[in-house]
């Protein structure tokens, strides 16, 4: 029997748009100012997608460089990251089928965006890409993904079983598991557990899966 869904929540980077490499390259460029630390920091960055960028830069400045309380440098690096990535993300391609997916489901189910991108920056990007109108609400950092999904469940007065989250990272997968939501993965450069949840390369296949398994 098909499951009834009342809410679809979606990640942004690497899920709706092909932006993961853009952000990875921005980190690489910034850490490249300290070449002796760059490779180790990139390995650490790629291994942990749960930490927001400002906290990553704080770790780098205070733990790796040993410059405790250097908020000016942390802010400088955070601002530089936005400068390097913002315009590229505004113009990068959407994942195949994502636009059609949003056009199809915006009138069928409540759509929410849940991302680790800072909230204000995320809203600017969505506005520039003309995507704001698709979403009932947009949730970005500093709210983490578990908190954001939990808030949706509470505000909409639904059970976790009535929501599905679409994301591309193990952290997205774990957030859905923590709350008992359904999850479908979008295959990107991040590594999902394909034994736990279905994972597809594009939204054409994701839509086919939803049509087979759920009522919206």
| Residue at which a domain ends, from 52, 69, 91 | 91
pLDDT for residue 51: 78
pLDDT for residue 48: 73
pLDDT for residue 46: 84
| Residue at which a domain ends, from 91, 122, 147 | 91
pLDDT for residue 158: 98
Query: Do 87 and 106 reside in the same domain of the chain?
Result: no
Query: Do 99 and 136 reside in the same domain of the chain?
Result: yes
pLDDT for residue 194: 82
pLDDT in tens, 151-198: 999 999 999 999 999 999 999 999 999 999 999 999 998 888 888 899
| Residue at which a domain ends, from 91, 109, 142 | 91
Query: Do 12 and 110 reside in the same domain of the chain?
Result: yes
Query: Do 66 and 165 reside in the same domain of the chain?
Result: no
The terminus-to-terminus CA distance of the chain in angstroms comes to 13
Q: In which residue ranges of the chain is pLDDT below 50? A: none
pLDDT for residue 131: 98
Query: Do 115 and 152 reside in the same domain of the chain?
Result: yes
Query: Do 140 and 209 reside in the same domain of the chain?
Result: yes
pLDDT for residue 148: 97
Domain holding 41, by residue range, is 20-91
pLDDT for residue 114: 98
Domain count for the chain, please give it: 2
Query: Do 69 and 164 reside in the same domain of the chain?
Result: no
Give the CATH number for residue 9. Answer: 3.40.50.1000
**Is the overall model pTM greater than 0.75, yes or no?**
yes
pLDDT for residue 179: 98
């Amino acid at each position: 029997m098909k499951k009834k869904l009342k809410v679809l929540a979606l990640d942004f980077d690497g899920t709706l748009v092909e932006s993961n490499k853009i952000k990875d390259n921005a980190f690489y460029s910034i850490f490249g100012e300290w070449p002796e630390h760059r490779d180790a920091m990139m390995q650490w960055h790629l291994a942990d997608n749960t930490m927001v960028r400002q906290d990553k830069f704080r770790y780098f400045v205070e733990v790796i460089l040993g410059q405790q309380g250097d908020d000016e440098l942390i802010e400088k690096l955070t601002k530089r990251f936005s400068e390097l990535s913002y315009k590229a993300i505004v113009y990068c391609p959407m994942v195949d089928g994502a636009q059609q997916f949003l056009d199809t489901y915006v009138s069928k189910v409540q759509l929410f965006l849940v991302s680790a991108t800072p909230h204000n920056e995320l809203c600017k990007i969505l506005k520039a890409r003309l995507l704001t109108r698709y979403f009932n609400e947009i949730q970005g950092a500093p709210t983490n993904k578990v908190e954001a999904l939990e808030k949706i469940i509470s505000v909409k007065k639904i059970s976790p079983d009535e929501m599905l989250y679409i994301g591309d990272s193990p952290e997205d997968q774990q957030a859905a598991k923590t709350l008992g939501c359904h999850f479908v993965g979008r295959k990107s450069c991040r590594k999902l557990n394909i034994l736990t949840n279905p994972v597809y390369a594009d939204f054409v296949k994701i839509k086919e899966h939803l049509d087979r398994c759920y009522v919206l």
